[in-house]
Amino acid sequence: MAKIEAVVVRDRVETVMDAVEEQTGHVGVTVMEAVGHGRQRGITHEYRGRVFESRFLPKAYLIFVVRDEIADAVQHAIVDAARTGHENGDGDRVAASAARARVRLWRDLSVSAR
C-alpha cells in the first residue's frame, strides 16, 4: 500500500479526484482544508482603495491510500490535473510514502495489509 499526499489549489480538487478515478479507477480520498504559501509569499488585494495582503493562500490537502501497482499512475494523474498553467501559485506538491497497514473501523478492528 502507498499513501499519496497532495497539496493543490482548492479550485482543482474535483478535477484531481475525477482524473485519479478516470485514469486509475481509484475512488477513495480524504480532503482537508489547508493554507500556505510558496515562492510568491501570498497575494495583494485592493478593496475600496485600501491594499490588503493575504500571506497565506487557501489550499486543499488530499490523501490517497492506494495499491502499490497504481501509486505512480495516481501521482501522475494528480500532477497533471492540479496544474493551472500559472507560473507561480499552482500549489501542487505530491509526496508518496509506504502505508504499512489499513484499518477499517466500520467492519472490524483487524489490521489489513492489502
Grid cell for residue 17: 479526484
Mean pLDDT value of segment 32-39:
82
0.85 exceeded by pTM: no
- For residue 31, with 0-12 CB atoms within 10 Å meaning exposed, 13-18 middle and 19 or more buried, which class applies? middle
- Looking up residue 7, the CATH number of its domain turns out to be 3.30.70.120
Q: How confident is the model at residue 23 (pLDDT cuts 50, 70, 90)?
A: very high
Give the whole-angstrom CA distance, residue 27 versus residue 22: 9
Q: How confident is the model at residue 2 (pLDDT cuts 50, 70, 90)?
A: very high
In what side-by-side order are the strands of the sheet with 93-98?
A: 30-36, 57-66, 2-9, 93-98
Q: How confident is the model at residue 16 (pLDDT cuts 50, 70, 90)?
A: very high
Query: What is the per-residue pLDDT across 39-75, written as a single tens digit (0 to 9) for each?
Result: 766 677 788 888 887 778 888 999 999 999 999 999 9
Domain that holds residue 69: 2-112
Degrees (nearest 5) of the Cα angle 114, 21, 86? Answer: 125
Instruction: Give the SS3 label for residue 114.
Output: coil
Number of domains in the chain: 1
For CA atoms 19, 31, 83, 79, the dihedral sign is negative
